[in-house]
Every structure is written in structure tokens, then in C-alpha cells.
Amino acid sequence: MSIAFDEAGRPFIIVREQDKKERLKGIEAVKANIAAAKAVSRTLRSSLGPKGMDKMLQNQDGEVTVTNDGATILQQMDLQHQIAKLMVELSKAQDDEIGDGTTGVVVLCGALLERAERLIDQGIHPSRVSEGYETACDLSTELLARISDEITLNDTKLTEMKKVAMTTLNSKIVNRFKDKLADICVSAVTSVADFERKDVNLDLIKVEGKVGGKLEDTNLVNGILAIDKDFSHPQMPRRVEDAKICILTCPFEPPKPKTKHKLEIDSVEKYKDMQKAEMEYFQDMVKKVKDSGANLVICQWGFDDEANHLLYKAGLPAVRWVGGVEIELIALATGGRIIPRFSEISPEKLGRAGVVKEVHFGTTRDRMIVLEDCAKSKAVTIFVRGGNQMILEEAKRSIHDALCIVRNLVVDNRIVYGGGAAEIACSNYVAEKMNEIPGVEQHAVGAFSEALDSVVMALAENSGLNPIESLGEIKARQANEKNAHLGIDCMGLGESDMKKQSVFESLQSKQKQLQHATQMCRMILKIDDVIQPSRYE
């Protein structure tokens, strides 16, 4: 089995002479499944950690993506093997639930399966291996909770939160500006967080990007942005205070019959009659908006030139061609209702915002509409700049990961220490408890400890260190000094204490990595046959 690449640069797995072999069953099928999962894990192994390598992916349209985000890499890989697709789901589950650790969870799962294969070769049944892994995972998650530290969320600077976000950004392309981006992510989350309920609605944090400018031009806007939008008439005011917003999904245009029709105008009088009818139609539209008390119109569709002129004459600033996602977010933030027909406009359906203004940015005088001080929410927008689309998209992915990690700290404010410190502590603890486990599960518990060591070795290897020597030294120091903060010095700062290096990770993220990897490993070990559905010719 091996990884190959097609003409578009997309990787896929080749199982040699698969079509010539009979369908595998039993232990042979389990081992074949393990081989497929290991192939995927080996692909991501070199991307683990702050010094991990990036992968370049090319889609069918020729667009290139450069990233080391595990979920993004796996989602764009053309994987044909069913077990390989399960590894994609594993990474996606970690991304959806936690937002970070998508590479580490796949590498750990591959390491667990590699050790499981050795135990199966020794005659241990896959079910007993699964049970031992489950026991070791429970021991590890309990230890992580014991060695974790709590951070204070009432600190005005929220320095610990920032350090956790910086640890996440450290392994990304944007790590040169991790200090500023971490500040932005912490400010964004704390702006919308409900600390009493320990909940953060990430839908209120919108990440927008525009090619141009430098990455350090990225900033946080306390409101909602509509990029590449402006007021529809050049003489409309560029700032509206105490805005009462009418949010429309119906166009300022005459109705268009769905049936085919034909209108012949053969005289000046008929043309004037038609023009008068259109004028009355537009005047009625504008009057309904004006009578509701609105002083700003935001519309999903376009305006007829005549309607646009009448809106200006009526003193109603308007923004047109606003996308559906922005319309929904504006309605949510301002407390307004999306109005599909002019006949349904009423004062109670209007949204409210403190200030709505048109802003110019960049050297090309690009424009956008900003809504600040919205009535029903504290929605914010992170406005990302980048030199090209590839950097912009990677920056947005990195910011999303950091936002998720900070969100997790609001939900559970406990942290563990990175650089492999948590994995080494769990490995030592599980190895100590191994002799207390009865039966053959003892061997599986020991294999779990070895798999955790394998992840740390990958981290050291990607940092240019001697993996075996680095792992042995830190494991011995943790055991002798009883210090669970010691990890791999990936950045070469000469300090192995991750607490002093401020390399923090969310406890919730680390626990979920272990649990997700263990459960996926158990699922793969229990599959002993792959049955294709019947095909009717």
C-alpha cells in the first residue's frame, strides 16, 4: 500500500493488486484496514508541531492550497479506501468539536493502530486490544485533569488566554504575527462571550478577508462588515446615526410576470402612461419604507435607477446587493426581521444599530459598510488582509482554530502544557499503572503508552532534534523531578519547562484528542469485513 498523486497533485492511496485478490476477512481484513489508516497517518506525521512541514494541494480548477491543517489536508485528499475515509471523519470530528488538534489526533490514531497490529501478530484478539486502549485512555484523561492548571478569566489582560491562542498559531504560516492575531482572537471571543453561562456563539464572530495589504493590517471591527458595498447613490450621506434598518429581500423593481408577455408602445401617450405607472409603483414602495420609520434600507437585490433616485429624494440611504449570509447576520445582530414583501413592512420589524457608515480602506480606495453598536448582539468582525488568496485563506483557517481554542477556555478554563509534556506525563503514568491491569489488556495498555511516545518523537523529529534522545531525556526528567511541565524544546530556546515557555493547550482539546483517537481505533479494530452493496445491471 502506498500514497500516489494524480495529475492534479491530489494524493490517493493505492492498494496493490487489490482487484486480483479475494475479499479479506477476519484478522487479515483488520490488518489491511490498519495499513490504510497508517498510510493516512504517515502523510500527516511530518506536519505535526510548530516546525511541521506544509502540504501543497491542488484542486480540479488548478487552485493551490498550502497548509498544515490536518482537517483541510484530509478533506482535499482523494481517498478511495473506506478506512482512509474514516480518518477524514476523525479529523473532521476534532475540528467541529474543538477546532484544533486535527493533525495530532490522526497521528495518534495511526500510532495506536501500528502498536495494535504488533499485538495482533502476537495472537491477541482485536477486542482485547480495544478494551486495553479504552482503559489506558481513561487513565490518561484522569491524569490530564489532575495536572491541569486553571486560568483566570477575570483578568483584564487575559494573558493566559492569549498564550494559548499563540501556541495554536505557532504551528501555522501566520506565526510571525501570532502576537497580534492572538490579541485579536481573544478580544473577539471575550466581546461576544457569555461568562455566566460559559458559552460563546461563534456565529457572532465573522471572519472576512480581502486580498491586498499586509497580514499585519488585519484588525478587529466591533460590528458587522459588508465588504465591497457602498451606499447606492453617490449623494447619499455616508454615515447614519441611530439607524433604524429596513432589511429587504425584495427588489426595488417593477414586478415581472412569470408568463411570457409582450407590450407594444406605439405612441407618446402610452409611453407616458407606462412611465407614470412605474413612478407610482416606486413611490408606493418608498412611502411604505418611509412610513415605517426606517432611516436606512439594506436590500439583498438591486434597485431600478428610478427607485434609487426616489430613495435619495426621500432621504433614505440604501445599500444594495448584500449577500444572504450578511443579511441573516445583520438581522440577528440588529434585532430586525427579514422582510420578503413591501406589504409586510412595519415598525416592529426594523433593526437598530448605533452607527452605520461607509469606510474606505487600502490603497485602491476599496469600500465597505460597517454596522456598529448593534441592538441585539455584540457581533464583531475580524477583517483579514493578505498579499494573495492563498495566504488569505490560510490566515482565516488559522484564526478559526485560535478562536475555537479561546472559546474552549471560556467553556472550561483549565489548561495543560504543550511541547509533548502532556503526552509524556500520560505515557509515564500509564506505564506505571500497566502492571496493575490484569489479563492481556496489560499489553494493550503498554502499547498505548508507546503510541503516546511516538507522537512526541514525531514532534521532536519535525523540530530537527534527535527523537529518541530527546524523548528519553524528557521522560527521565519528568519521572525524576515529578514535573509534568517538561516537554520538547521545539523552538530551540534552551528551556524544556513549557510553563516558562508559555506553551499552553486547552485541557478539553487534549482530552478530546485522546478520546477521539481511541474511539476511532476501536472502531477500525472491530471491522473484520468490508461488504460491497449489490449492483443491479
270 to 104, 264, 274, 276, 283: CA distances (angstroms) = 73, 9, 6, 10, 20
Catalytic choice (230, 401, 453, 489) = 401
| pLDDT exceeds 80 at position 232 | yes
**Based on the structure, what is the number of domains in the chain?**
2
Q: Are strands 414-417 and 504-506 parallel, antiparallel or unpaired?
A: antiparallel
69 is catalytic: yes
φ and ψ at residue 261, rounded to 5 degrees: -145, 165
Do 333 and 462 reside in the same domain of the chain? Answer: no
Buried b (16+ CB within 10 A) or exposed e, 12-49: ebebeeeeeeeebeeeeebbbbbbbbbbbbebbbbbbb
pLDDT for the residue 166: 85
Do 422 and 372 reside in the same domain of the chain? Answer: no
| pLDDT exceeds 80 at position 22 | no
Residue 21 banded pLDDT, cuts 50, 70, 90: very low
| pLDDT exceeds 70 at position 20 | no
94 lies in a domain?
yes
Rounded (5°) CA angle 140-146-150:
125
249 lies in a domain?
yes
| pLDDT exceeds 70 at position 129 | yes
Catalytic choice (43, 69, 381, 518) = 69
Here the CATH number for the domain that contains residue 51 is 1.10.560.10
Percentage of the chain modeled with pLDDT above 90: 10
Residue 154 banded pLDDT, cuts 50, 70, 90: low
Number of H helices, E strands in the chain: 16, 17
Report the pLDDT averaged over residues 128-150: 90
List the grid coordinates of 155.
483578568
pLDDT for the residue 206: 85
Average pLDDT, the chain: 83
Task: Render pLDDT for 294-317 as a digit per residue (tens, 0 to 9).
Answer: 889 998 888 878 888 888 888 889
Catalytic choice (67, 72, 102, 135) = 102
Do 345 and 485 reside in the same domain of the chain? Answer: no
The whole model's pTM is what? 0.77
The residue among 328, 357, 377 that closes a domain is: 377
Do 367 and 422 reside in the same domain of the chain? Answer: no
pLDDT for the residue 532: 62
Do 25 and 135 reside in the same domain of the chain? Answer: yes
| pLDDT exceeds 80 at position 437 | yes
401 is catalytic: yes
Here the CATH number for the domain that contains residue 269 is 3.50.7.10
Q: Which domain holds residue 370?
A: 223-377
Task: Render pLDDT for 62-94 as a digit per residue (tens, 0 to 9).
Answer: 788 888 888 888 888 878 788 888 888 888 888
The residue among 318, 346, 377 that closes a domain is: 377
Task: Render pLDDT for 81-128 as a digit per residue (tens, 0 to 9).
Answer: 888 888 888 888 888 888 878 888 999 999 999 999 999 888 888 889
| pLDDT exceeds 70 at position 9 | no
226 vs 334, higher pLDDT: 334
249 is catalytic: no
Residue 136 banded pLDDT, cuts 50, 70, 90: very high
- C-beta atoms surrounding 53 within 10 Å: 11
215 lies in a domain?
no
Catalytic choice (67, 103, 141, 168) = 103
Q: How far is CA 247 from the centre of its chain?
A: 29
Task: Render pLDDT for 234-272 as a digit per residue (tens, 0 to 9).
Answer: 888 888 888 899 999 888 877 776 677 777 778 888 888
| pLDDT exceeds 50 at position 19 | no
Do 229 and 373 reside in the same domain of the chain? Answer: yes
Helix locations, 463-534, DSSP H: 467-481, 498-501, 507-525
pLDDT for the residue 448: 92
Do 370 and 227 reside in the same domain of the chain? Answer: yes
Do 115 and 227 reside in the same domain of the chain? Answer: no
pLDDT for the residue 536: 44
Do 460 and 323 reside in the same domain of the chain? Answer: no
| pLDDT exceeds 70 at position 23 | no
Contact call for residues 296 and 247 (beta carbons, < 8 A): no
Rounded (5°) CA angle 11-58-51:
75
In sequence order, the 6+-apart residues with CB closer than 8 A to the CB of 52 are: 46, 68, 103, 171, 462
Report the pLDDT averaged over residues 168-192: 85
| pLDDT exceeds 50 at position 201 | yes
pLDDT for the residue 25: 63
Report the pLDDT averaged over residues 365-370: 80
| pLDDT exceeds 70 at position 156 | no
482 lies in a domain?
yes
pLDDT for the residue 537: 43
pLDDT for the residue 30: 82
pLDDT for the residue 363: 67
